[in-house]
C-alpha cells in the first residue's frame, strides 16, 4: 500500500507540472501575438501618417527637404507646369498649338466627358482633375510623342498617361458620337448637296467615301494581314465626308491588307445608301427624272446607282490618247475635283491629330477607338470654328508616308445594273454645263 500511495503522488505531481507548462506556453503565445499585433498597428499608423503628410505637401504645394520613404507609386516627380503655366499663362495660340483646339472648346470637352472621367479622391492619393486627364490625352493625340515625355511634362506616371489616353478615347466615342458622328438629317443632306455643287461643281451628291491608313507597330499575330499596298503595316478605316469636310460615318479597325470594296459592302453605310437612307423624301429630281442623291467613291469600289466612280482610263496600245470619250473625260475631271473634299478632310485630320500620321505604338485594342475619337474631335473643332493652322498641314505633308493607292476595280460583276445609265446622266449634265 505504501508503494501505491507514492506512485499516485508522483503521477499527480507530473500531471500538475504538465498542466502548468502548457498554461505558461499558452500565455507566452498570447503575449507574443499581442506584441506582433501592436507592432503591426503601430506600423500601419506610421505609414498612414507618412501618406497624409505627403498628400498634404502635394495638395498645398509645400516643398520639404525631409526625406520620406514611400511606396514606388508615390515617388513620381511633382510638376506644377500644368497649374502654373498652362492654366494661367497660355495664350490662344498656345492652346491651338498644344491641344489643337481653343480654350473654350477644351473646357466644353471636359464638361462633356466629366461623367465618364471624374474620379474620387482616396486616402492613398488625390485623383487627377478631369481637365488634366483630358490635357494629357490631347497632348498625346496631337503630338504622338512618347509616354515618358508626357509623363515628365505633366508630372504623372507613364501608366497614368496610357490610362488617360485610353479612358478619354472611350469616353469621347461613348458620349459624343451621337452629337458629332451621326447619320445626317434630311436638311443636312440637302445642304450638303447644295454645297457640293457650289464648292466642287458636282451636282446631286451628298458625301465622298475614302480610305485612311494608320501606321502601327508589328502585331503579335497575323502581321502579314496588316501589310497595305504600299508595303507598310497599317489599320484601314473607311470614312464618309460631307461637303463641309465633316465625317458622317467611320468604320475603323480593319487590317491594312483588306480590300476596301469588302469593307464598304459589309458596312452600315452601304446598307443605308442602298435602301435610300441618304436621300430625302420625296426623291429629288435630276436631269428631269427622280434620282436619289449619290455618293462619290474611289476607283476601288463597285459602281452603283447611288455610288459614282471614275471611268477606267485605259490607254490604247497603238496611240497615246485615252480611249474615253470627251464627256467621260469631263466626268472624271469633275469627279476627281469633288473627291478633294475627302482628301483635304483626311489631311486636316492627320495634321491636327498626328497620332494618325505617324506610326502609332498603341495596341490594336486601342487604335480603332483612337481613330474614331480623332474623327469626332475633328468634327467638334470644325463645328466650333476653331482655327486650323496651315503649318500643321505642311509639317504632316513633309513627314508622313504617302497614303497607299488601291487598285482600280475593273470587274463589273459587282456593278448595279442601272448604274451605268445614272453615270451617263452626270456625263450629260457636265456636257451641257460645258457648252
Whether 236 is in a domain gets the answer yes
| CA–CA distance, 143 with 153 (Å, rounded to integer) | 13
What is the structure's pLDDT at 42?
Answer: 65
Estimate the share of the chain in helix, then strand, then coil, as percent rounded to the nearest 5.
55, 10, 35
| CA–CA distance, 33 with 13 (Å, rounded to integer) | 30
Residue 87's pLDDT band, with cuts at 50, 70 and 90, is confident
Q: Is the pTM of this model over 0.85?
A: no
Same domain, 149 and 248: no
What is the structure's pLDDT at 75?
Answer: 40
Whether 70 is in a domain gets the answer no
Whether 211 is in a domain gets the answer yes
Whether 246 is in a domain gets the answer yes
| CA–CA distance, 150 with 134 (Å, rounded to integer) | 13
Same domain, 123 and 234: no
Residue 284's pLDDT band, with cuts at 50, 70 and 90, is very high
Name which of 243, 292, 295 is nearest 264 in CA terms.
295
Same domain, 246 and 133: no
**Boundary residue ending a domain (179, 213, 234):** 179
What is the structure's pLDDT at 79?
Answer: 56
Condensed to tens digits (0 to 9), the pLDDT of residues 262-282 reads: 999 999 999 999 998 898 888
Same domain, 377 and 398: yes
| CA–CA distance, 418 with 305 (Å, rounded to integer) | 6
Residues 43-63: b if buried by 16+ CB within 10 A, e if exposed = eeeeeeeebeebbeeeeeeee
Q: Count other Cβ atoms within 10 Å, centred on residue 78.
A: 10
Give yes or no for residue 106 having a pLDDT over 60: yes
Joined together, the cell numbers standing for residue 395 give 509639317
11 vs 214, residue with greater confidence: 214
What is the structure's pLDDT at 7?
Answer: 80
Same domain, 279 and 401: yes
Whether 63 is in a domain gets the answer no
Whether 164 is in a domain gets the answer yes
Same domain, 145 and 276: no
Same domain, 175 and 189: no
Residue 90's pLDDT band, with cuts at 50, 70 and 90, is confident
Same domain, 246 and 349: yes
| Domain count of the fold of the chain | 2
Name the pairing type of β-strands 294-296 and 205-215. parallel
Question: Average pLDDT of 83-100?
Answer: 86
Residue 65's pLDDT band, with cuts at 50, 70 and 90, is very low
Please state the separation of Cα 312 from the chain's center in Å: 35
What is the structure's pLDDT at 85?
Answer: 79
Residue 313's pLDDT band, with cuts at 50, 70 and 90, is confident
Residue 24's pLDDT band, with cuts at 50, 70 and 90, is confident
Question: 434: number of CA atoms within 13 Å, CB side?
Answer: 15
Same domain, 128 and 254: no
Range in 46-55, 211-220, 346-355, 395-404 with the lowest mean pLDDT: 46-55
Same domain, 189 and 275: yes
Residue 356's pLDDT band, with cuts at 50, 70 and 90, is very high
**Boundary residue ending a domain (145, 179, 213):** 179
Same domain, 207 and 291: yes
Same domain, 193 and 340: yes
What is the structure's pLDDT at 73?
Answer: 37
What is the span of the domain harbouring residue 174?
80-179
Peptide bond into 282 cis (omega under 30): yes
Helix (H) or strand (E) holding 247: strand 247-255
Whether 54 is in a domain gets the answer no
What is the structure's pLDDT at 323?
Answer: 82
Residue 80's pLDDT band, with cuts at 50, 70 and 90, is low
Residue 72's pLDDT band, with cuts at 50, 70 and 90, is very low
**Boundary residue ending a domain (179, 210, 238):** 179
Which one of 74-88, 239-253, 396-410 scores highest in mean pLDDT? 239-253
Whether 19 is in a domain gets the answer no
Condensed to tens digits (0 to 9), the pLDDT of residues 183-195 reads: 899 999 999 999 9
30 vs 272, residue with greater confidence: 272
What is the structure's pLDDT at 71?
Answer: 39
Amino acid at each position: 500500500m505504501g508503494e501505491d500511495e507514492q506512485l499516485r503522488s508522483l503521477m499527480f505531481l507530473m500531471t500538475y507540472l504538465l498542466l502548468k507548462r502548457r498554461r505558461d506556453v499558452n500565455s507566452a503565445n498570447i503575449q507574443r501575438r499581442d506584441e506582433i499585433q501592436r507592432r503591426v498597428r503601430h506600423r500601419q499608423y506610421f505609414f498612414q501618417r507618412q501618406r497624409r503628410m505627403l498628400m498634404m505637401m502635394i495638395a498645398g504645394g509645400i516643398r520639404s527637404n525631409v526625406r520620406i520613404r514611400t511606396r514606388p507609386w508615390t515617388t513620381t516627380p511633382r510638376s506644377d507646369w500644368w497649374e502654373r503655366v498652362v492654366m494661367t499663362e497660355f495664350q490662344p495660340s498656345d492652346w491651338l498649338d498644344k491641344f489643337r483646339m481653343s480654350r473654350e472648346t477644351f473646357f466644353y470637352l471636359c464638361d462633356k466627358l466629366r461623367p465618364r472621367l471624374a474620379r474620387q479622391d482616396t486616402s492613398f492619393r488625390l485623383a487627377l482633375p478631369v481637365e488634366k486627364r483630358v490635357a494629357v490625352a490631347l497632348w498625346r493625340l496631337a503630338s504622338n510623342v512618347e509616354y515618358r515625355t508626357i509623363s515628365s511634362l505633366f508630372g504623372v506616371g507613364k501608366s497614368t498617361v496610357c490610362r488617360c489616353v485610353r479612358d478619354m478615347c472611350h469616353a469621347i466615342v461613348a458620349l459624343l458620337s451621337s452629337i458629332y458622328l451621326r447619320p445626317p438629317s434630311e436638311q443636312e443632306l440637302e445642304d450638303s448637296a447644295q454645297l457640293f455643287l457650289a464648292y466642287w461643281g458636282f451636282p446631286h451628291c451628298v458625301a465622298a467615301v475614302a480610305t485612311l491608313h494608320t501606321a502601327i507597330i508589328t502585331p503579335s499575330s497575323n502581321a502579314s494581314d496588316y501589310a497595305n499596298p504600299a508595303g507598310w503595316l497599317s489599320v484601314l478605316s473607311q470614312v464618309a465626308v460631307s461637303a463641309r469636310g465633316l465625317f458622317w460615318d467611320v468604320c475603323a479597325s480593319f487590317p491594312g491588307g483588306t480590300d476596301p470594296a469588302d469593307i464598304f459592302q459589309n458596312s452600315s453605310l452601304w446598307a443605308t445608301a442602298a435602301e435610300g437612307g441618304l436621300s430625302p423624301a420625296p426623291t429629288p429630281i435630276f436631269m428631269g427624272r427622280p434620282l436619289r442623291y449619290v455618293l462619290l467613291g474611289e476607283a476601288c469600289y463597285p459602281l452603283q446607282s447611288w455610288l459614282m466612280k471614275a471611268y477606267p482610263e485605259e490607254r490604247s496600245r497603238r496611240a497615246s490618247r485615252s480611249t474615253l470619250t470627251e464627256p467621260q473625260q469631263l466626268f472624271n475631271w469633275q469627279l476627281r475635283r469633288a473627291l478633294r473634299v475627302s482628301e483635304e478632310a483626311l489631311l486636316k485630320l492627320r495634321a491636327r491629330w498626328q497620332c494618325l500620321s505617324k506610326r502609332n505604338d498603341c495596341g490594336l485594342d486601342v487604335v480603332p477607338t483612337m481613330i474614331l475619337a480623332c474623327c469626332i474631335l475633328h468634327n467638334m473643332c470644325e463645328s466650333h470654328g476653331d482655327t486650323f493652322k496651315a503649318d500643321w498641314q505642311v509639317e504632316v505633308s513633309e513627314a508622313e508616308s504617302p497614303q497607299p493607292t488601291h487598285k482600280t476595280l475593273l470587274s463589273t460583276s459587282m456593278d448595279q445594273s442601272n448604274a451605268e445609265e445614272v453615270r451617263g446622266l452626270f456625263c450629260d449634265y457636265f456636257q451641257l454645263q460645258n457648252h
